[in-house]
């Protein structure tokens, strides 16, 4: 997955080591971690481990929604269905 603007916004550079893990049933986190074997390559793609992709219900070409969280130097990777729920919930609250 690539969102070069998002990665650049966080200041992540090729060669940075990342830990990528499941943080819930529909979200994964990516953070810089000096001891991780996962390295951000020059193309700046986040490569989710098979176990994380499976837990998120992602198949090849699956769509995700990525959010930068600068104060914790992380990226949240959501299954696109979460975005649907967020938008629907927002507009339901706005109607009251």
pLDDT tens digit sequence for 3-19: 788 898 999 999 999 99
Evaluate if residue 24 carries a pLDDT over 90.
Answer: no
pLDDT tens digit sequence for 58-91: 887 778 888 899 999 999 988 888 877 778 877 8
- Can you tell me the mean pLDDT for 45-55? 86
Evaluate if residue 48 carries a pLDDT over 60.
Answer: yes
Evaluate if residue 96 carries a pLDDT over 60.
Answer: no
Backbone angles phi, psi at 21, to 5 degrees: -150, 160
Distance, CA of 86 to CA of 40 (rounded, Å):
29
Where is pLDDT greater, at 37 or 71? 71
Look up the pTM and report it: 0.78
Structure tokens at 12: 């992540």
């Amino acid at each position: 997955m690539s969102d070069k603007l998002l990665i650049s916004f966080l200041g992540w550079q090729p060669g940075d080591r990342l830990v990528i893990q499941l943080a819930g049933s529909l979200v994964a986190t990516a953070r810089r971690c000096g001891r991780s074997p996962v390295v951000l390559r020059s193309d700046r793609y986040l490569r989710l481990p098979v176990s994380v992709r499976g837990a998120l219900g992602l198949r090849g070409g699956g769509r995700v929604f990525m959010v930068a969280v600068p104060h914790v130097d992380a990226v949240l990777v959501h299954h696109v269905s979460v975005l649907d729920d967020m938008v629907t919930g927002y507009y339901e609250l706005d109607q009251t």
